[in-house]
Chains A and B, each alone.
Chain A
Amino acid sequence: MSARRIYFVVSILVLAALPWLIATPYWRGILVLCAMNVLLALSLNLVIGYTGQLNLGQSAFFGIGAYVSTILVKSYGWNFWLAAVAAVGAAGLLGLALAAFAVRLRGHYLAIASLGFAVITYQVLVNWENVTQGVRGIYGIMPPFSHPAALFYLVAGIAVLVYVLIDNLVRSPVGDSLRAIREDEVSAASLGINRALWKAFAFCVGAAIAGLAGCFYPGFVGTLVPDAFNIVESFTMMAMVIVGGMGTMIGPVLGAIVLTFLPELLRGFGELRLMIYGIALTLVVLFMPGGMVQAWMALRARLR
């Protein structure tokens, strides 16, 4: 317990120091992106890592959060924070809609249904031009704080809060029930666990968190186009969760950090960059199926 406290305090200190250690505007931007990716990876991990639901549509909720908050601010003049609350709510509701499929479908069927869900969301963003401006995009979006360090503190602070809450949740009896559904739905039902309810819960919370991450994205980039929420984004989030170690708390965080910074560090390699990314993803799945967390545990066991 006290060891956890120490880790926690050290992480907070490192987070506080980061924007001053890495002080160029470009790298501060990457830090913000990284915090956002951590949020996304945490949200997806709750659904696939703990509840075992193959969800390839997480990019849709990210996009909903981004579009709803931006449109409310730009077209209706809402206050950013109010708009963010509405956006999170909208994403959560849409999560419930996808959960309706998850209740009836399993495994690959759910994977494809969620993929279809993301494609439809993307197409709506492209085609509903009156509202979303379609592929032309929305420009000149302001972040809630213009100073990159402040924006980083905000998003990272939210990421830490979300981490702590989810960590509590998965250690609690709720976590037991979600894992039970992941391991075997029929047995879970035989113990009185209402799988429809808890799947809906996981999808809704996961979607809401992704929507929350989405609220900060447009202001950070300054523009909003549908392509940012292509299904490829779902794959990227999935990669973060897997590479880090799904079904663990710290894994997706590490995965998000590594997969945010790795492509940046590989920029020198030009087109080979994404190739390396592809190879890395395949190799991780093949040789360390539990991701970085498992690799670390194996290493530690060997050193003992």
Chain B
Amino acid sequence: MVALGLTLIYGVLNQINFAHADFVTVGAFTAFFTATRFATKVLGLPDTGAYLLSMFAALGAGALLGLAVNAAVFAPLRDRGDELRPLIATIGVSVLLENAQLALFGPIPYQFDSPFARETLRIGRIFFSAQSVLVVAVSAAAIAALYGFMRFTFLGKALRAVAQDRETAGLMGINPNLLIALTIVIASALAGMAGALLGPVLVLSPFAGASVIVKAFAIVIIGGFGNMQGTILAGILVGVIEAFTVQYLGSGLIDLVVFAMLLLMLVLRPTGLIAERKEENV
């Protein structure tokens, strides 16, 4: 889901957002405090309700952050046609967010108990925590919703038009700036929600996002920048490969294997799993 957000931003904007993963962490923290402090203590909701509410809070936090970063960084830098500077600016935002959280929450990891993490389901002889089932289910739902949105709604089509050719789309009465802002907000909201989902699974610390982001980039590249189907496929593929690596090589080598795969992919098919090769039009 994180990778999907990245790919969406890349597809429409042609920009990499290094701070994206920190939106995940912020989402996780928002969810954590909503669930454990606000919803249960102030509103007196039961655990499950509190957790669901926290997911929406995280979604909102992600969306707000996206809006802010778009206004502060992407919008002013957009028309300079420069690949490097927006990328550096998002690295700056990332450092800022990580350390702001560090200042607020401290370096000690939090234990985020979701009601679903306590329960386990059994299918055959394999046990799943309900949380991991929830992660998969909500991710799948979000991905399906996003996919449907891009394919079938007017806005989604407009977004794809902007992604293909910003100027022409502009001429057809589509306001590209508004749509780009919308994309970032959607992608960032996704990241926030991913935070709420992953919070109970990962260790919740200000730098949790940083460990996710590099892998998310790998997935985005393997899937082909800006290609949604490719990204989904690559996400699954990387998951499977990680599982195999853990099984046969040990968990220490996960990153090594994933990135070796990334480099291999870049040599063999630089445009990703699905997209076909294009020659630059001179």
Contact = CB atoms under 8 A, between A and B. Distances in A.
A140 interface: no
Contact of A109 (B100, B253, B270): B270
A238 B88 contact: yes
Contact of B263 (A48, A120, A124): A120
Contacts of B220: 112
Interface string B253-266: 10110011011001
Nearest to A117: B263
The 10 A-B pairs at the shortest CB distance, nearest first, are namely: A278-B96, A278-B95, A281-B92, A282-B92, A274-B99, A271-B103, A275-B99, A123-B256, A285-B89, A116-B259
Tier of interface size on chain A = 35 or more
Given A127-B256, A285-B77, A274 B85 contact: no
A115 B263 CA distance: 10
Contacts of A104: 266-267, 270
Interface of B: 10, 14, 16, 72-73, 76-77, 80, 82-89, 91-100, 102-103, 214, 217-218, 220-221, 225, 252-253, 255-256, 259-260, 262-263, 266-267, 270, 280, 282
9 contacts: A105-B270, A109-B270, A113-B263, A120-B256, A239-B91, A275-B96, A278-B98, A282-B72, A285-B89
B221 A54 contact: no
The secondary-structure label for the interface of chain B is: helix
Given A104-B267, A113-B263, A238-B88, A119 B95 contact: no
B78 to A, nearest CB: 12
A54 B96 contact: no
Given A111-B16, A119-B255, A120-B260, A239 B88 contact: yes
A186 interface: yes
A275 B100 contact: yes
Nearest to B282: A186
Contacts of B100: 275
A209 interface: no
A131 to B, nearest CB: 15
A277 B96 CA distance: 7
Contact of B93 (A105, A231, A282): A282
Given A186-B280, A286-B73, A235 B99 contact: no
Contacts of A105: 266, 270
Contacts of B73: 282, 286
Contacts of A123: 253, 255-256, 259
A271 B85 contact: no
B89 A108 contact: no
